[in-house]
């Protein structure tokens, strides 16, 4: 079986680096983001940062990634997003799935 996301034009694929601030840790936000990403066939990762932020990197079809960003900014579940910062980066296609990363890093 061929993964449909691999057959899309590179012009339709995007990479988004997202930071979320607010009530974002201890509310199962990373799990909800991972589950939504898997439903949308978005690849990448999400992790907590040591400064009470959540960082995520998404790659996939533009419409799917944009839907995932909207989902994140809405503060799903018990999460309450006070601020989000997003940067579009060149698409690399480096991920084969979506994962929750468990290491914590300080925001630079």
**Largest Cα–Cα separation, the chain:** 42
Say whether 30 is catalytic.
Answer: yes
Catalytically annotated residue among 13, 15, 34, 48: 48
Catalytically annotated residue among 13, 15, 30, 34: 30
Could you give the 3-state DSSP secondary structure of residue 63? helix
In angstroms, the CA 66 to CA 53 distance is 20
The CATH classification of domain 11-89, taken from the options 3.40.50.261, 3.30.1050.10, 3.30.70.100, 3.30.365.10? 3.30.70.100
Say whether 92 is catalytic.
Answer: no
For the chain, which residues make up each domain, given as ranges?
11-89
Residues of the chain with pLDDT under 50: 1-2, 5, 107-108
């Amino acid at each position: 079986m061929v993964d449909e996301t691999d057959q899309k034009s590179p012009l339709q694929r995007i990479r988004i680096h997202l930071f979320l601030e607010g009530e974002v840790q201890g509310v199962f936000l990373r799990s909800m983001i991972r589950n939504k990403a898997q439903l949308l066939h978005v690849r990448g990762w999400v992790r907590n940062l040591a400064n009470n932020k959540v960082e995520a990197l998404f790659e996939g079809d533009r419409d799917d990634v944009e839907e995932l960003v909207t989902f994140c900014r809405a503060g799903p579940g018990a999460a309450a997003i006070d601020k989000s910062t997003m940067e579009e980066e060149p698409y690399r296609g480096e991920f084969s799935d979506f994962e929750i990363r468990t290491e914590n890093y300080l925001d630079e």
